[in-house]
């Protein structure tokens, strides 16, 4: 219950979906949480007695402002959840250079900027916590295995997986008390996935996409947002004090096969 008491977290893309669930889980474990998003996340922030800051993860200026906001509001930063992300499915022939770059801009550059600007802030008081402060990057099963029509997303989530390891090593070897780990969800029922299913239905008339998505998991069903939020809260805590550079797969067995 109070595993994260005294710690302060920033969750990007926290207005809905996995970010909102992670923000709630961290708050339930005692952290003070700042929700950031391009969309309005003030309702989630109010629910958990936290704070909301408007923040586009592709903007370096807005990253600097968001980290400064967290420090000013709650006295420091101990946990960053790099969660904001975008997704679509397209055959390679339909992906444009512009759309490919946009996917990398949000999913890869957004995480890079988060690492760059949050690591120094988290390191400032990493000594306070057993295992130090923590960054959790939302990658995906798509960061481990490829899929047709997911070239741009695969590229972005594969990059997040290895940026996590590079940052983890740099922090550990550099004596900075910041652990960096990635989480790799299977398919979770969030607006991201219901919107994708709707887009597929609109383009092809196929209406059973969520059922097909569920069937990809040996456990036979989609994941729940709380399944991912629990992994995030664990990695943020001192229970994961010896974990850095690791990839936590939460996918109902999808990538075990
Ligand atoms: N849902 C899944 O099945 C699944 C699986 C694997 C990985 N993921 C990853 O988990 C993360 C969250 O996914 P979700 O399903 O909750 O998505 P979602 O689309 O439901 O929510 C994403 C949130 O990110 C915000 N966002 C988008 N672009 C942003 C930007 N430039 N700056 C700040 N915020 C921005 C959106 O406004 C939204 O609130 C993403 O990184 C996604 O790739 C999701």
pLDDT string in tens for the chain (257-residue length): 699 999 999 999 999 999 999 999 999 999 999 999 999 999 999 999 999 999 999 999 999 999 999 999 999 999 999 999 999 999 999 999 999 999 999 999 999 999 999 999 999 999 999 999 999 999 999 999 999 999 999 999 999 999 999 999 999 999 999 999 999 999 999 999 999 999 999 988 999 999 999 999 999 999 999 999 999 999 999 999 999 999 999 999 999 98
Find out whether 30 and 1 touch, Cβ atoms under 8 Å.
yes
Contacts of 138 (CB under 8 A, 6+ apart): 18, 81, 82, 83, 85, 160, 182, 183, 185, 228
Residue 129 CB-half CA count within 13 A: 32
Residues known to be catalytic: 153
Helix (H) or strand (E) holding 168: helix 151-173
Please list every protein residue whose CB sits less than 6 Å from any atom of ligand 1.
12-13, 15-19, 37-39, 55-58, 83-87, 106, 110, 138, 140, 185, 187-188, 190-193
The CATH number of the domain covering residues in 8-186+225-243: 3.40.50.720
Question: Which two structure tokens, joined as six digits, stand for 43?
Answer: 């309702």
Nearest CA to ligand 1 atom 7: 140
Pairing state between β 133-138 and 247-250:
unpaired
- CA of 120 from ligand 1 middle (Å) equals 25
Do residues 210 and 180 make contact, with C-beta atoms less than 8 angstroms apart?
no
From 43, 60, 87, give the residue whose CB has the most ligand 1 atoms within 8 Å, as the site to mutate. Answer: 87
Which residue among 10, 12, 13, 184 has the greatest number of ligand 1 atoms within 8 angstroms of its CB, and so is best to mutate? Answer: 13
Ligand 1 mean position to 121 CA, how many Å?
24
Residue 162: name the closest of 177, 147, 184 by CA: 184
What residues does each domain of the chain span?
8-186+225-243, 189-222
> In angstroms, what is the span from residue 13 Cα to ligand 1's centroid?
6
């Amino acid at each position: 219950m109070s595993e994260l008491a005294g710690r302060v977290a920033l969750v990007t893309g926290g207005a809905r979906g996995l970010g909102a669930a992670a923000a709630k889980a961290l708050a339930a474990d005692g952290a003070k949480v700042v929700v950031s998003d391009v969309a309005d996340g003030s309702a989630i922030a109010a629910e958990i007695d936290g704070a909301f800051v408007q923040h586009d993860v592709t903007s370096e200026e807005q990253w600097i402002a968001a980290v400064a906001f967290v420090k000013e509001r709650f006295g420091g930063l101990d946990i960053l959840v790099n969660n904001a992300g975008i997704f679509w499915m397209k055959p390679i022939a339909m992906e444009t250079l512009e759309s490919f770059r946009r996917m990398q801009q949000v999913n890869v550059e957004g995480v890079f900027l988060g690492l760059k600007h949050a690591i120094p802030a988290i390191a400032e008081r990493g000594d306070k916590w057993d295992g130090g402060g923590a960054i959790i990057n939302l990658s995906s099963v798509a960061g481990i295995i490829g899929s047709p029509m997911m070239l741009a997303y695969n590229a972005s989530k594969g990059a997040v997986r290895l940026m996590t390891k590079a940052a983890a090593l740099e922090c550990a070897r550099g004596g900075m008390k910041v652990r960096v780990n990635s989480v790799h969800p299977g398919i979770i029922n969030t607006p991201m996935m219901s919107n994708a299913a709707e887009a597929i239905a609109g383009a092809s008339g196929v209406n059973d996409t969520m059922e097909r998505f569920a069937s990809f998991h040996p456990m036979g069903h989609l994941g729940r947002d709380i399944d991912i939020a629990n992994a995030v809260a664990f990695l943020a805590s001192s229970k994961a004090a010896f974990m850095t550079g690791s990839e936590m797969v939460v996918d109902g067995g999808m990538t075990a096969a």
